[in-house]
């Protein structure tokens, strides 16, 4: 091959290579960091750019779309010495490609480690119940702590979500046993409370029944006393009438005694268990006195009329 032709081919190839190194098209969603002679020069935004071949080189191609960093699951000890397992997801984007390129060697790994250690610190200052129930508070505390660090690396925090937080396996089993014991204790308390209320209600019923029974006996006693008083008053009035009608004497007592005797004999004869009625030896005299008293009483009442 002729030397001139070979030189021409090499020259054309060199020009083409130089053009490819000089003309650069940055796609949307990326920004390129350009170094000139080994030193940061500029950041290329999406679009067409011209560089100086062999002087300007593209050192880093940074994705400016939102990035997702998922932390690994880790065991964290809470303030009350309980072990929980937690993981999180961080959403962020590169807002300063030069800082992201030169301030830290690997910002993706740095974001994951920073989130992990911050989660440990936040959970370590909370109790088990707080860590399981206050996800929003955990998210807010972690976001505040890592935002400044990410800003120094040329990153902007978009959002942080607690992906999962749960007790460790051993702790979960212990919590289940405790919950079962609590439910059994509550059931026992409810049964005992029901039995207590039933016993109180029964005692109150017996008390009210005894009060009502006592009140009934008291009322009956009052009525019996009143009846006896009325009967005695009637007897007294009868004796006064008989005594006044007969102008004194022993007739009235004989009359009342005979009347009581006749009533007693009559009640005794009506009893189903009484087969024999005993008569006193002086029943004839008593009956004669009663008949005489009745005669005198009739005469006295006739005279009064």
pLDDT at 90 over 90: yes
Cα separation, 237 vs 302, whole angstroms: 19
CATH topology of domain 67-167: Tetrahydropterin Synthase; Chain A (3.30.479)
- Give the pLDDT confidence score for residue 187 in this predicted structure: 82
pLDDT class of 96 with cuts at 50, 70, 90 = very high
Q: Is 153:104 a contact under the CB 8 Å cutoff?
A: yes
| pLDDT, average across residues 138-163 | 91
Q: For position 19, what pLDDT does the model report?
A: 75
pLDDT of residue 26: 92
Q: How far apart are CA 76 and CA 89, in angstroms?
A: 17
User: What whole-number distance in Å separates Cα of residue 256 and Cα of residue 241?
Assistant: 12
Residue 303 neighbours by CB distance under 10 Å = 8
Contacts of 40 (CB under 8 A, 6+ apart): 33, 34, 59, 98, 101, 102
State residue 94's pLDDT score: 94
φ, ψ of residue 6 to 5 degrees: the values are: -65, -40
At 305 the pLDDT is 46
Residue 54 confidence (pLDDT): 82
Q: Are 47 and 93 in contact (CB under 8 A)?
A: no
Q: Is the dihedral of CA 125, 126, 132, 134 positive or negative?
A: negative
Predicted pLDDT of residue 296:
47
CA distance 161 to 274: 104
Better-scored residue on pLDDT, 186 or 116: 116
The model's confidence at residue 2, banded by pLDDT at 50, 70 and 90, is low
Average pLDDT score, the chain: 78
Confidence of residue 1 (pLDDT cuts 50, 70, 90): low
Confidence band, pLDDT 50/70/90 cuts, at residue 183 = confident
What is the rounded distance in angstroms from the CA atom of residue 265 to the CA atom of residue 194?
Answer: 61
Q: Is 95 left (phi over 0), alpha (psi -120 to 50) or beta?
A: alpha
Torsion angle in degrees (nearest 10) through CA of 36, 41, 46, 48: -50
CA-CA-CA-CA torsion sign (101, 105, 106, 112): negative
The whole-angstrom separation of Cα 46 and Cα 29 is 7
Q: In whole angstroms, what is the distance from residue 77 CA to residue 87 CA?
A: 14
Contact assessment for residue 184 and residue 160, using Cβ atoms and an 8 Å cutoff: no
Distance CA 200, CA 138 (A): 51
pLDDT at 242: 58
Q: What is the residue extent of each domain of the chain?
A: 3-63, 67-167, 249-268+280-305
pLDDT in tens, 23-50: 889 999 999 999 998 899 999 999 999 8
User: Is 80 exceeded by the pLDDT of residue 257?
Assistant: no
- Weakest-pLDDT range from 77-81, 185-189, 236-240: 236-240
Give Dmax over CA atoms of the chain in angstroms.
191
More confident residue, 112 or 266: 112
Contact call for residues 43 and 32 (beta carbons, < 8 A):
yes
Question: Cα–Cα distance between 134 and 139 in angstroms, integer?
Answer: 9
Kindly give the residue spans of alpha helices, DSSP state H, lying in 153-282. 169-246, 251-270
Look at residue 164 and tell me whether its pLDDT is greater than 80: yes
pLDDT in tens, 189-236: 888 888 888 888 888 888 888 888 888 788 877 777 777 777 777 667
Q: Looking at residue 297, what is its pLDDT?
A: 46
Upper half-sphere CA count for residue 235 (Cβ side, 13 Å): 11
State the Cα–Cα distance between residues 11 and 123, nearest whole angstrom: 66
Of 9 and 135, the one with more pLDDT: 135
Which helix (H) or strand (E) segment holds residue 92: the answer is strand 83-94
Q: Residue 235: what pLDDT? A: 65
Task: Tell me which of 20-29, 34-43, 138-147, 166-175 is least confident.
Answer: 166-175
Residue 150's pLDDT is 92
How would residue 89 be classed by pLDDT, with cut points 50, 70 and 90?
very high
């Amino acid at each position: 091959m002729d030397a001139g032709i070979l030189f021409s081919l090499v020259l054309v190839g060199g020009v083409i290579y130089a053009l490819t190194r000089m003309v650069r098209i940055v796609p949307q969603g990326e920004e390129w960091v350009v170094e000139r002679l080994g030193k940061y020069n500029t950041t290329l935004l999406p679009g067409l750019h011209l560089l100086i071949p062999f002087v300007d080189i593209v050192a880093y191609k940074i994705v400016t779309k939102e990035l997702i960093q998922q932390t690994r699951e880790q065991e964290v000890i809470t303030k009350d010495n309980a072990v929980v397992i937690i993981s999180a997801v961080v959403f962020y984007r590169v807002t300063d490609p030069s800082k992201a390129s030169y301030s830290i060697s690997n910002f993706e790994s740095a974001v994951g480690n920073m989130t992990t250690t911050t989660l440990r610190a936040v959970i370590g200052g909370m109790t088990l119940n707080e860590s399981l129930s206050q996800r929003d508070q955990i998210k807010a505390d972690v976001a505040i702590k890592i935002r400044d660090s990410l800003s120094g690396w040329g990153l902007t925090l978009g959002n942080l979500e607690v992906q999962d937080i749960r007790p460790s396996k051993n702790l979960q089993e212990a919590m289940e046993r405790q919950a079962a014991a609590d439910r059994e204790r509550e059931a026992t308390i409810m049964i005992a409370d029901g039995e207590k209320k039933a016993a109180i209600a029964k005692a109150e019923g017996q008390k009210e029944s005894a009060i009502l029974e006592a009140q009934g006996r008291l009322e009956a006693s009052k009525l019996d006393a009143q009846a006896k008083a009325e009967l005695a008053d009637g007897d007294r009035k009868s004796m006064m009438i008989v005594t006044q009608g007969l102008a004194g004497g022993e007739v009235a007592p004989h009359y009342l005694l005979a009347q009581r005797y006749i009533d007693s004999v009559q009640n005794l004869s009506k009893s189903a268990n009484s087969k024999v009625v005993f008569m006193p030896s002086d029943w004839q005299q008593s009956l004669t006195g009663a008949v005489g008293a009745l005669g005198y009483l009739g005469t006295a009442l006739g005279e009064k009329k």
